[in-house]
Amino acid sequence: MNQYSNQEIICPLIGDKAPSFVAQTTQGEIHFPEDFKGKWTILFSHPTDFTPVCTTEFIYFSEMMQDFDSLNTKLIGLSVDSLASHLAWLHAIQKDVVFQGMKHVKIEFPLVADLTGQIARQYCMLHMSAHQTKTVRAVFFIDPQSIIRTILYYPSSLGRNFDELKRILIGLQLHDELGISTPANWQPGDEVIESNPECMADLEKRLSENTSDNGAWFLSLKELPIEEIETILQKQRKSTPKKGKRT
């Protein structure tokens, strides 16, 4: 069996507790999730250092750090490269790379050195059908209770959509605060879906109040303006989000 094989590993799923680990990173040693208590975390992997797609992604992650920080969210990168390789690559990005007008970009979030692949195996970031010794582009959204809330996988040739990453994060946080869901192609400021009735009294109330054009009690939409979203997320940043209704 290849040393990076994950054939006998049970992959973590949405709703599972995120596997814990201690790791050396470009920002020093981290203990996950203890060091990130009370925060959302985006844990993401990239195939390898000094590759073009990964370079563009790290520039975008760095440029959006303030956006993620405003959403009470920390970033952790990972690949099966050494710490020396990570440091040399991040230094080269800051010194030499220009992408879409962005230059001298300093990567300040931790990048895990997982040379043995131990953490990558824990999170099933190594796919036998893709490449046995390189992590795929995986993204794990982990909430302040260390629960995995969303998992994304991308092939090595496809760079991630950062507007989508931010959209997912906002949608998850709004769900926790309000118990709402988001419809197809939802963007912040669009209508959201109210949680379904939990008893006959709730259903009758919903039927009496339903004035939406869709005519279906089980698809009840309501306005959620950008200004209200910003107020909710500001409140969320000051305290650990509570769990919303599962829908």
Domain regions of the chain by residue span: 21-159, 170-237
> Of 48, 55, 51, 44, whose CA–CA distance to 119 is shortest?
44
The dotted CATH code for 21-159 is 3.40.30.10
The token pair at 236 is 């969320």
73-79 and 21-25 beta bridge pairing: unpaired
Rounded CA separation 67/61 (Å): 10
User: Do the domains 21-159 and 170-237 sit in the same CATH topology, yes or no?
Assistant: no
Which residues have a catalytic role annotated? 54
Region class of 193: left (phi > 0), else alpha (psi between -120 and 50), else beta: beta
* CATH class, 170-237 region: alpha beta
Cis peptide before 110 (omega within 30 of 0): no
Q: Which three-class secondary structure state does DSSP give residue 17?
A: strand
Cut 0.85: pTM above it: yes
Selection from 168, 162, 196 nearest residue 182 by Cα: 168
Nearest one of 39, 38, 121 to 78, comparing CA atoms: 121
Q: What is the DSSP letter of 82?
A: -
Burial group, residue 107, by CB count within 10 angstroms (0-12, 13-18, 19+): buried
**pLDDT digits (tens), the chain, 247 positions:** 344 444 567 899 999 999 999 999 999 999 999 999 999 999 999 999 999 999 999 999 999 999 999 999 999 999 999 999 999 999 999 999 999 999 999 999 999 999 999 999 999 999 865 556 688 999 999 999 999 999 999 999 999 999 999 999 999 999 999 999 999 999 999 999 988 888 888 888 777 776 556 667 788 888 999 999 999 888 777 665 444 444 4
